[in-house]
Amino acid sequence: MKKFIIFLLIVLAGIQFIPVERSNPPIKQEMPMPNNLKEVLVRACYDCHSNSTEWKWYSKVAPVSFLISYDVKEGREHLNFTEWDYHSMKEDKIKEEIWEEVLKERMPPWSYRIFNPKGKLSDEDKRIIREWSLSR
Ligand code: HEC
């Protein structure tokens, strides 16, 4: 048992040296949106869906860092509010998609909500997203 713990500690120390991508590229074009919506999205979505991720201290500790870095990479690839290709994106469709993820409580992911209370959407937050998703 003791040997195993020592082995584990060595592995944990070792993986700290594996490089992790943790950058915030420059903001290109932000999605046009009303201020009240922006407040909600910045708080609950921007850590994964923008180029202004707030990298917390635990995002620097492996193996948690691997998971967070992966989430941010995936999140940005799917939807990036700060690299908004307004013309090529079907705006109505993306609005619907966002509302659906929020309604079904798939976004923000539960794993994020546990560590980030700010990611928990209130009824008022949801109402703001819903209202915007219906606006044309
Ligand atoms: C912890 C990181 C994280 C947070 C915070 C987060 N997302 Fe995501 N989101 C992801 C990842 C990763 C994906 C892609 C994989 C998936 O669909 O699960 C994704 C996918 C999506 C998609 C689907 C896009 C597509 O092309 O399929 C939508 C819409 C979305 N997120 C909206 C939101 C909204 C709105 C919020 C805030 C209320 C939010 N997300 C918060 C990580 C996150």
The residue nearest atom 35 of ligand 1, judged by CA position, is 98
Atom of ligand 1 nearest to the CA of 77: 14
Is residue 20 over pLDDT 70? yes
Atom of ligand 1 nearest to the CA of 129: 35
Q: What is the pTM of this model?
A: 0.94
Q: Mean pLDDT across the stretch 43-63? A: 97
Mutation pick for ligand 1 pocket among 78, 81, 113 (CB with most ligand atoms within 8 Å): 78
Structure confidence by residue, pLDDT tens digits, 83-106: 998 665 688 889 999 999 999 999
d(CA 72, CA 78): 10
Q: Compute CA distances 83 → 25, 80, 118, whole Å.
A: 10, 5, 23
Q: How far is the CA of 5 from the centre of ligand 1 (A)?
A: 37
Structure confidence by residue, pLDDT tens digits, 105-120: 999 999 999 999 999 9
The total domain count for the chain is: 1
pLDDT band at 136 (very low <50, low <70, confident <90, very high): confident
Whole domain around residue 41: which residue ranges?
2-134
Q: What is the pLDDT of residue 85?
A: 81
Find all residues with CB under 8 Å of 15, minimum gap 6, and list them: 62, 63
